[in-house]
Structure 1
Amino acid sequence: MKNKKWYIIKIKNGEEINIINRIKYNLLKINKLKYIKYIFIPTKKYINIKNGKKIIYKKKILPSYMFINIYLNKYIFLILKKIKGIFGFLNERYKNLPLNINKNELKKIIDINNNNNNNNYKIGDNVIINSGIFNNINGKIEKINNNNVILSINFLGKKTNLKLNINNINKY
């Protein structure tokens, strides 16, 4: 297939799955589905533990934006622009095809998409433990190492350090 590039499409928030289906359906109708390589909505995975049960949920990191790897010509561009829920392309130029995003920008977004919660925390943050025998105990982050944190907690009147997985804490 011809050279496929990454583009960012501005879409209606909350309609992501429907818009993906509409894109695929409209391109399938004209036998151009092979022009698409990949479509994704950048999300970040969060893990929360409530009542001893692990709940995994995703949150959009760029609401109202969709990333698409596609071979884009004027014909495909016009078809996509007419789909209900698509407001246009980022870097769209008057009467021309939009500018594609470069691989470095895309890599940053994908890294955010694949990263865990550790970007939300920094040393000195006050947090609450959300699971285990120390559930609902407050602590302060002393050190962050990959997916683990060292917390300083007050336990039985003494300052104690505790090593936990980053998924076992929440900011408060």
Structure 2
Amino acid sequence: MSEAKWYVVHTYSGYENKVKANIDKTIENRHLEDQILEVRVPMQEVVELKNGVQKASQKKLFPGYVMIHMIMNDDTWYVVRNTRGVTGFVGPGSKPVPLSDEEMMPMGIQQDNVVVDLEVGDTITVLSGAWEGTVGAIQSMNPQKQSLTINVELFGRETPVELSFTEVRKMD
């Protein structure tokens, strides 16, 4: 299994977030979570001065482009390439070229791996977010995304909820 790398995909201008949402949905539907790890639209905080008032807003760092952290193979290439709004991978001809570590440095994307003493079956309590105070057993873990899944009772049925490692604490 080759290692995951960051690739850049060209999209129709203004479709970046839609493409991200479509790829995220496809990953979920086709269970490619272990091959396409993250889809990101790089943003930067910009302070604008309008009518004498300073206003902070988020602007796309690279309009028309989406970054994808994935393991390149025929399946992942096909899924991304055939996503609505994607015009192609960045690279010569039809060959996608991964970004080097040097190119990734200024993007501000660090791999801060959180080391956790959790495993499937452990009982955890949620520390923050919408599910704060919820207690549940870990159903699955995704070390690449730094997340885990627990089942929560919602409208009388068990529903899986994905949480970040930093949002939970192991119960004794």
TM-score of Structure 1 vs Structure 2, range by shorter chain: 0.5 to 0.7
Normalised to the residue count of structure 2, the TM-score between the two structures is 0.55
* Unpaired runs of at least 5, structure 1: 112-172
Any residues of structure 2 matched to 1:29-108 within 5 Å, and which? 29-48=29-48, 54-94=54-94, 97-108=95-106
Q: 2:161 is matched with which residue?
A: none
Larger Rg: 1
Describe the shift of the 1:71–1:39 C-alpha distance in structure 2 as closer, same or farther (beyond 3 A): same
Normalised to the residue count of structure 1, the TM-score between the two structures is 0.55
- Answer whether contact 2:5 2:98 (CA < 8 A) is retained: yes
Q: How many residues are paired up?
A: 109
Q: Deviations over 1:137-170 (max 9, x none)?
A: xxxxxxxxxxxxxxxxxxxxxxxxxxxxxxxxxx
Offset at residue 69 of structure 1 (A):
0.8
Q: Deviations over 1:63-120 (max 9, x none)?
A: 10111111121111012111110000001544xx512110101112338xxxxxxxxx
Offset at residue 4 of structure 1 (A):
0.8
Give the CA RMSD over aligned residues.
Answer: 2.4
Offset at residue 61 of structure 1 (A):
2.7
Separation in structure 2 between the aligned mates of residue 56 and residue 44 of structure 1, nearest angstrom:
10
Amino-acid identity (%): 21
Any residues of structure 2 matched to 1:1-172 within 5 Å, and which? 3-48=3-48, 54-94=54-94, 97-110=95-108
* Unpaired runs of at least 5, structure 2: 110-172
Separation in structure 2 between the aligned mates of residue 99 and residue 10 of structure 1, nearest angstrom:
13
**Which residue identity is paired with 2:89?**
F
